[in-house]
């Protein structure tokens, strides 16, 4: 099939590359000329495990192309995926200007049937607006060309995006005409050879399904974060509670980790957008409002723990930060808890030395040059001479550090573990003052701190 993917970001690039991998002819279009130039020169604008290889393989095979020529993009694919950003506007609602601009471009240039696929995360009713925008452009041209609009929200996770796209749990298709359903089934057939994963529904339900999934996951995280705060006060260990409740199949083990707040390009904006949609329809989603408020608070907790230990004036302190991306295996720092922590530490006068395996270039762009913020190329270089270490992202490389080496390098042996990735017993036995999230209780096999 000939497919155009509009928007060559995390979702667009991964979708385009994986669709090409299945033998389709794919053209990725982006308005960002620098991004397209980089891709055409064999560079990668984002970090996503395995993506570089899939792109290279399909470019070499002549199945995957990149352009910033919008009209070429419209003419190329029978299927037109819209995978542009939907950032929050000032009210928290999803800003649809990029989606609608992409729709208008299609209406302005199409000359034959197009299947327009909303892959971006968009509020209920957006497909109607996309359809209206295309129809308006066709009417302005005085032409009548058939087209379909479907909703096909994406559920990939950054850090495992290629795997998720190649082996989806489910493929949601919101469609209202047979031609569209038929085309979407054919398009996704190679991704579901083992068993049927296509869930076909009406468009509005498909649009809502995406928000419901992210809102549910964010709710679990905020719930566990609040339980962690309570566990500290009550002398319990949230990690043990997590294991205790995760064993119940009705609850399940995923997404029960307490930490220093969720971030990224999806949960924060999607929770806000869903709450906003509800509000606009005259309903308050109180659970969701609480989920967001709890997360905003949680992002402050790590800095509060630093202040509790060192006092409010940190001007004589150097704090090392491990992890800048909002989660491991990505360089994405959108809404990352590290941004809040580093902002708080700098505001209190601290010097910060940060390390991240892949997000340092992004951090330099996000923070700009700041006198008291430096970067170190290795985890150990970051803690040299530091008064404390704060762990913000659970990269695998941080999980089993050499505590003795660390202690020798640091000025004071203090660790704030925002992701509970270290073994408290080992850290304390090595002489660290170790501060986890929600783990007040000592387990039976953990000896008291020395």
Least Å distance between CB 295 and ligand NAD?
A: 17
- Alpha carbon separation from 390 to 321, 400, 434 (Å, rounded): 5, 15, 10
Assess 156 for contact with ligand NAD (CB under 6 A): yes
> Among residues 18, 55, 74, 83, which is the contact residue for ligand NAD, using CB under 6 A?
83
Q: Integer distance in angstroms from the first to the last C-alpha of the chain?
A: 66
C-alpha–C-alpha distance, residues 197 and 200, integer Å:
10
Strand 388-391 relative to strand 64-67: parallel, antiparallel, unpaired?
A: unpaired
Q: DSSP for 326-388?
A: SSTT----TT-HHHHHHHHHHHTT-EEEEE-SS-HHHHHHHH-S-TTEEE-SSHHHHHTT-SE
The pattern of x and - marking residues 25 through 64 that bind ligand NAD according to CB under 6 A reads: ----xxxx--x-----------------------------
Total residues in contact with ligand NAD, by rule CB under 6 A:
26
C-alpha–C-alpha distance, residues 158 and 179, integer Å:
32
Assess 80 for contact with ligand NAD (CB under 6 A): no
The residue of the chain with the least Cβ separation from ligand NAD equals 9
Least Å distance between CB 67 and ligand NAD?
A: 10
- Name the segment binding ligand NAD (CB under 6 A); options: 24-32, 280-288, 343-351, 413-421: 24-32
C-alpha–C-alpha distance, residues 69 and 291, integer Å:
42
- Determine contact, residues 3/75, Cβ cutoff 8 Å: no
- Determine contact, residues 145/35, Cβ cutoff 8 Å: no
* φ, ψ (nearest 5 deg) of residue 185: -65, -40
- Name the segment binding ligand NAD (CB under 6 A); options: 3-11, 19-27, 140-148, 435-443: 3-11
Active site residue 18: no
The pattern of x and - marking residues 429 through 448 that bind ligand NAD according to CB under 6 A reads: --------------------
Reported as half-sphere exposure (CB side, CA atoms, 13 A), residue 23 has a value of 7
Q: Which residues 6+ apart lie within 8 Å of 45 measured at CB?
A: 8, 13, 35, 38, 39
> Among residues 3, 11, 260, 421, which is the contact residue for ligand NAD, using CB under 6 A?
11
Least Å distance between CB 324 and ligand NAD?
A: 17
Least Å distance between CB 120 and ligand NAD?
A: 3
Assess 162 for contact with ligand NAD (CB under 6 A): no
The pattern of x and - marking residues 263 through 282 that bind ligand NAD according to CB under 6 A reads: --xx----------------
- Determine contact, residues 145/110, Cβ cutoff 8 Å: yes
> Toward ligand NAD, which CB reaches closer, 172 or 231?
172
Q: Which residues belong to the active site?
A: 266
Residues binding ligand NAD (CB under 6 A) = 6-12, 29-32, 35, 83-86, 98, 101-102, 120-121, 154, 156, 158, 265-266
């Amino acid at each position: 099939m000939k497919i155009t993917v509009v928007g060559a970001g995390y979702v667009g690039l991964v979708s385009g590359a994986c669709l090409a991998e299945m033998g389709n002819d794919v053209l990725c279009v982006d308005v960002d000329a620098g991004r397209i130039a980089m891709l055409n020169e064999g560079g990668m604008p984002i970090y996503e495990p395995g993506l570089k290889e899939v792109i290279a393989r399909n470019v070499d095979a002549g199945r995957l192309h990149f352009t910033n020529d919008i009209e070429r993009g419209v003419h190329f694919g029978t299927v037109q995926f819209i995978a542009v950003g939907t950032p929050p506007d000032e009210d928290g609602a999803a800003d649809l200007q990029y989606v609608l601009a992409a729709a208008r471009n299609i209406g302005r240039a199409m000359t034959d049937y197009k299947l327009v696929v909303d892959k971006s995360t968009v509020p209920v009713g957006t497909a109607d607006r996309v359809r209206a925008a295309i129809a308006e452009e066709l009417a302005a041209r005085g032409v009548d060309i058939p087209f379909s609009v479907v909703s096909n929200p994406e559920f990939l996770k950054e850090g495992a995006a290629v795997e998720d796209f190649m082996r989806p749990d489910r493929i949601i298709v919101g469609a209202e005409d047979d031609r569209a359903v038929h085309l979407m089934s054919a398009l996704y057939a190679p991704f579901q050879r083992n068993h049927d994963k296509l869930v076909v529904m009406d468009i509005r339900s498909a649009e809502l399904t995406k928000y419901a999934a992210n809102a549910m996951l964010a709710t679990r995280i905020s719930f566990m974060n609040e339980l962690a705060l309570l566990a500290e006060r009550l002398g319990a260990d949230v990690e043990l509670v997590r294991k205790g409740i995760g064993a119940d199949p009705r609850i399940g083990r995923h997404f029960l980790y307490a930490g220093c707040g969720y971030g990224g390009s999806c949960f924060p904006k999607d929770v806000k957008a869903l709450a906003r949609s509800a509000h606009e329809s005259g309903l308050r989603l109180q659970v969701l409002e609480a989920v967001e408020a709890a997360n905003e608070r949680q992002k402050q907790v790590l800095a509060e723990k630093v202040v509790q230990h060192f006092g409010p004036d940190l001007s004589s302190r150097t704090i090392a930060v491990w992890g800048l991306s909002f989660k491991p295996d990505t360089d994405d720092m959108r809404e990352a808890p590290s941004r809040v922590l580093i902002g708080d530490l700098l505001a209190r006068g601290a010097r910060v030395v940060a390390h991240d395996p892949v997000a340092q270039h992004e951090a330099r762009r996000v923070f700009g040059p700041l006198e008291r913020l430096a970067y170190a190329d290795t985890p150990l270089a970051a803690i040299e001479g530091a008064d404390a270490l704060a762990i913000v992202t659970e990269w695998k490389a941080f999980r089993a550090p050499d505590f003795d080496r660390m202690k020798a390098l640091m000025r004071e042996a203090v660790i704030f573990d925002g992701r509970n990735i270290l073994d408290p017993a080992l850290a304390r036995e090595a002489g660290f003052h170790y501060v986890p999230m929600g783990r007040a209780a000592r387990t039976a096999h953990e000896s008291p701190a020395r």
